[in-house]
Amino acid sequence: GENVEQHPSTLSVQEGDSAVIKCTYSDSASNYFPWYKQELGKRPQLIIDIRSNVGEKKDQRIAVTLNKTAKHFSLHITETQPEDSAVYFCAAKGSGGSNYKLTFGKGTLLTVNP
């Protein structure tokens, strides 16, 4: 089945700096890559997603890039703010019999220091 690796597991930045989180996936036929943000004690919530026919997508301070050849995708947060502090999860959706399954990375704890 699909395997998703996420790095780093923890990331600490100063307010205003950029943060980058990287993920790799194993199933070359995977076609959907969402990113979730989970604040302490809360449920995961979608912040951005990208489909395999697109190389990059932006939404204000957040962007995601996808390299299908290398099977990796990344989350970029610019001008970080303390409220960006949370755990971020990447995920990949498999193909064929796994078409309905979303496999998650283990998460990155982002801390933005004021």
Partner 1 sequence: NAGVTQTPKFQVLKTGQSMTLQCAQDMNHNSMYWYRQDPGMGLRLIYYSASEGTTDKGEVPNGYNVSRLNKREFSLRLESAAPSQTSVYFCASTVGGTGGNSPLHFGNGTRLTVT
Binding site for partner 1 (CB under 8 A): 1, 6, 9, 31-32, 34, 36, 42-46, 49, 51, 89, 93, 99-107
Q: How far is the CB of 17 from partner 1 (least distance, A)?
A: 25
What is the DSSP pairing of strand 108-113 with strand 10-14?
parallel
Q: How far is the CB of 11 from partner 1 (least distance, A)?
A: 15
Beta bridge partners of 111: 12
Is 81 or 99 the residue whose CB approaches partner 1 more closely?
Answer: 99
Give the separation between CA 25 and CA 14, rounded to whole angstroms.
Answer: 29
Give the separation between CA 109 and CA 80, rounded to whole angstroms.
Answer: 14
Is 15 or 29 the residue whose CB approaches partner 1 more closely?
Answer: 29
